[in-house]
Amino acid sequence: MSTHRHFLSNCEAAPAARPQSTSSYFSFANKWSTVVLLISGLVAIGAFIWWLNIPFIEDIFTSSAITLTMVLGFQLYMGNSGILNWSYIGYAGIGAFASAIFSMEPAVKTMQIPTMYPFLIKLHLPFSLALIAGALTAMAVAALVAWPLMRLSDSVGAITQFALLIVFNVVLSQWSQVTNGPRTFTLGGLRYTTLWVALGVASVVLAAVFYFKESPVGLKLRATRDDRHAARSSGINLVSTRYIGYITSAFIGGLAGGLFSHYILSITAASFYLHDLFVILSMLVIGGSMSVSGAFFGTLLVTLARQGLRQVELGLTRSGFEASGATEIVLAILMIVFLIWRPNGITGGEELTWNSIRRRLKSFTGRKKQSAKSQQQED
Amino acid sequence: MNKKSFFNVEGLNKSFAGLKAVNDVSMHIETGEILGLIGPNGSGKTTAINIMTGMIKRDSGKITIDEHNIGDMPAYLVPVYGLVRTYQTIRLFKSMTCLENAMMGAIGVGIGRRAASEIAGELLEEVGLGESIGLPAERLTFRDQRLLEIARALAASPKFLLLDEPAAGLNEEETDMLLSLLKTLPGSRNIGILIVDHDMRLIMNLCNRLQVLNYGRTIAEGLPKDVQKNPEVVNAYLGSTAS
């Protein structure tokens, strides 16, 4: 039996602290305080950065809000089912290309991608609808291919998803009539994904992913993660439960991909491959894959760490010491360290709630008082 | 008066690589009674439970609850028709809370989230885990994990409950507690129980009827006091201890 201690619920290990809060601990309000806390945190940071009005920082925030959306969708399936879903980033790619094709003006499309199928050139939707249509396309692809893969678990499950990612990558990078093949796909329009759009979508997705986790399907999926046999004999259909989680996750991945393409404005299939999967995987592992809070804090911490490390990297390279790529190495090592010593990440798989904050504060002030007392005694 | 249901198994057969693990076993349980299934190690008791709940495929035989032929159903549908089980090696959803664990029994048979949480809360109080509803299952003591597994099974409001060695690993005092809990279930919840265990004190005090397996075959059945004296049963048990 493991006795994890983690920063969100530090005094869980002390049984004496528990009973008095039992009734409120399980209240609906406390459970949903996670969503309120995380979204207010996100909005507060966003508003502050918008007020600062420094384009460079605004860009960092917008792209990390997109990444957060992506990590949340990744958490939805991987966190609840326990299966490493390599193909996830492929669905982000499908959503990115599909939503771009939907949103671009036909005239721009003929100019940018002359090889495109005529029926795709004619398609045109406003950005918001194009974004959803792109996500639905990713979901539809998932719905078509996933069913036979859903009964596979553990490493077999992960390997088949990896093979699927290879398929997606080759198709995206070779299908000239749709994605402009290996050449860059330039959207040639406005940057629709502004700070507020990215923030808004991330907030809605955060609430949705949390709702999923607590919904009957989410509970069933978590049950299959913990014990497949017990889940089966409790009346849970493994394949259909996973299937629902998988295609929902693909939808959110497609949504994040669409936000990304309308932010970065020129994409290739290589933007949705192993490197980006590695980044979101490290975020989820470091934050803690089993909770929505884990996805949130993982994204926050890894983004900050990456920005900081990149500055160090640049500084070193400028002063004559070749250090390019060091950021990735540090991140990879960090991921390994976490998997060894803290497999449930900084959140320990728990959610941030009112009570977890209260308990943490209490134990913090308690310790202060104690040390003050012992000092008095020494005096 | 509660409506009676009947769980019938007729001529069940299962071989593993030519070895007959279950050989023409028939069994009948009705709601409100407790049947003990006993026999030496390897006599096919757990295999029989695995087959009855659809976890492994049978070679032949008929398994029904009232008019429903559950033998041909996938395992995840069996609880919907009123048959649930527990495991000899406790199987819980370790990282989920006790409340969530117990809820899964109800959610698995299609009960809504809110109702499931009410059912689960009441059951946890009933089995004495009311204090631990928010704890992850893996933090419970061994005894409490057993109780949680039973609570999860009961949350499905089953007609029949199959218990695979519920007393394994429990001390005498804990077994007594389990005994008094199980004894009330047939009356209070109108369910039939099939219990497999090696603890003869538990079996003799709990069961209305006994059925004895040896090498996958039924060698005796009847009232506990009669079965105890059956020479074939005595022989099977002594034989297995002597070897």
CB of B168 within 8 A of CB of B88? yes
Q: In Å, how far is B39's CA from the nearest CA of chain A?
A: 24
Residues of B in contact with A238 (CB under 8 A): 76
3-state secondary structure of B16: strand
What is d(CA A285, CA A193) in angstroms, rounded to the nearest whole number?
A: 27
Q: Are A73 and A255 in contact (CB under 8 A)?
A: yes
Whether A230 sits inside 8 A of B78 (CB atoms) is: no
Contact between B139 and A1 using a beta-carbon 8 Å cutoff: yes
Do A87 and A80 form a contact (C-beta atoms < 8 A)?
no
**B120 and B170 part of one domain:** no
- A211 shares contact with chain B (CB less than 8 Å): no
CA distance B121 to B133: 8
Burial class (CB in 10 A: 0-12, 13-18, 19+), A361: exposed
β-sheet bridge partners, residue B160: B83, B192
Helix (H) or strand (E) holding B205: helix B200-206
* Planar angle of CA A9, A10, A13, nearest 5 degrees: 100
Q: Which of B111, B134, B157 is the last residue of a domain?
A: B157
**Closest C-alpha among A230, A237, A236, A238 to residue B148:** A230
pLDDT tens, chain B, 243 aa long: 568 999 999 999 999 988 899 999 999 999 999 999 999 888 899 999 999 999 999 999 999 999 999 988 999 999 999 999 999 999 999 999 999 999 999 999 999 999 999 999 999 999 999 999 989 999 999 999 999 999 999 999 999 999 999 999 999 999 999 999 999 999 999 999 999 999 999 999 999 999 999 999 999 999 998 988 888 888 887 665 444
CA gap A274, A196 in Å, rounded: 28
Same domain, B165 and B242: yes
The confidence score (pLDDT) of residue A110 equals 87
Please report how the helices A195-214 and A292-318 are oriented relative to each other, as an axis angle in degrees rounded to 10. 140
> What is the number of domains present in chain B?
2
pLDDT at A374 (0 to 100): 63
Q: Which 238-277 residues of chain A touch chain B by CB within 8 A?
A: 238
How much is the pLDDT for A25?
44
Confirm if A347 and A293 have CB atoms less than 8 A apart: yes
Does residue B164 share a domain with residue B243? yes
Six-digit token pair at A39?
């979204």
Query: β-pairing, B60-65 with B68-69?
Result: antiparallel
Q: How many CB pairs under 8 A join A and B?
A: 91
Torsion angles phi and psi, residue B61, rounded to 5: 125, 165
Indicate the average pLDDT of chain A. 88
Do both B223 and B196 map to the same domain? yes
> Which of B113, B134, B138 is closest, CB to CB, to A26?
B134
Phi, psi of B57 (to 5 degrees): -80, 140
B93/A349 touch (CB, cutoff 8 Å), yes or no:
no
B13 and B107 within one domain: no
B195-218 residues labelled b (16+ CB within 10 A) or e (exposed): bbbebeebbeebbebbbbbbbbeb
Q: Does one domain contain both B171 and B140?
A: no
**Two tokens at B219?**
């060698």
CATH number, domain containing residue B223: 3.40.50.300
Higher-scoring residue by pLDDT: A96, A19? A96
Of B125, B157, B189, the position where a domain reaches its end is B157
Contact assignment for B92 to A230 by CB distance below 8 Å: yes
Q: What is the pLDDT of residue A42?
A: 96
Q: B27 by DSSP, 3-state: which?
A: strand
β pairing state of B34-38 and B60-65: unpaired
Min Cα separation B232/chain A (Å)? 34
Give the pLDDT confidence score for residue A10 in this predicted structure.
38
On the question of pLDDT at A13 being above 50, the answer is: no
In 3D space, the residue among A141, A105, A99, A134 whose CA is nearest the CA of residue A121 turns out to be: A105
The b-or-e profile of A147-169 (16+ CB within 10 A means b, else e) is: eebbebbeeebbebbeebbeebb
Considering the domain architecture, whether residues B24 and B35 belong to the same structural domain is answered as yes
Q: What's the mean pLDDT in A324-352?
A: 91
Whether the CA torsion A89, A91, A96, A97 is positive or negative: it is positive
The predicted model gives A139-163 an average pLDDT of: 94
Residue B214 one-letter amino acid: N
**Are residue B115 and residue B140 in the same domain, yes or no?**
yes
For A160-212, what is each residue's pLDDT tens digit? 999 999 999 999 999 989 998 889 998 888 899 999 999 999 999 999 999 99
Tell me which residue of A66, A94, A231, A205 sits closest to A153, measured CA to CA.
A231
Tokens of A232: 């089966």
Same domain, yes or no, for B75 and B180? yes
- Tell whether B68 and B106 lie within a shared domain: no
Shared-domain flag, residues B153 and B164? no
Domain of residue B226 covers 1-82+160-243
**Residue in B with minimal Cα distance to A220:** B104
B18 to each of A89, B13, B14, B23, B42, how far by Cα in Å?
48, 12, 9, 12, 15
Distance between CA B227 and CA B209 in Å, rounded? 9
pLDDT at residue A127 in the model? 95
Q: Is the minimum CB–CB distance between B105 and chain A shorter than 8 Å?
A: yes
What the block records as the tokens of A366 is: 């308690």
Q: Which H helix or E strand runs over B193?
A: strand B192-196
Final residue before a domain boundary, out of B131, B157, B183: B157
- Inform me whether the C-beta atom of residue A231 falls under 8 Å from chain B C-beta atoms: yes
My answer on whether B152 and B210 are in the same domain is no
Quote the Cα angle for A266-A267-A268, to 5°.
Answer: 140
Judged by CB atoms closer than 8 Å, whether chains meet at B134 and A238 is answered as: no
Q: What are the pLDDT digits (tens) for A80-139?
A: 999 999 999 999 999 999 999 999 999 888 888 888 998 998 899 999 999 999 999 999
Rounded CA gap, A201 and A217, in Å? 23
**Is B182 at the interface with chain A, CB within 8 A?**
no
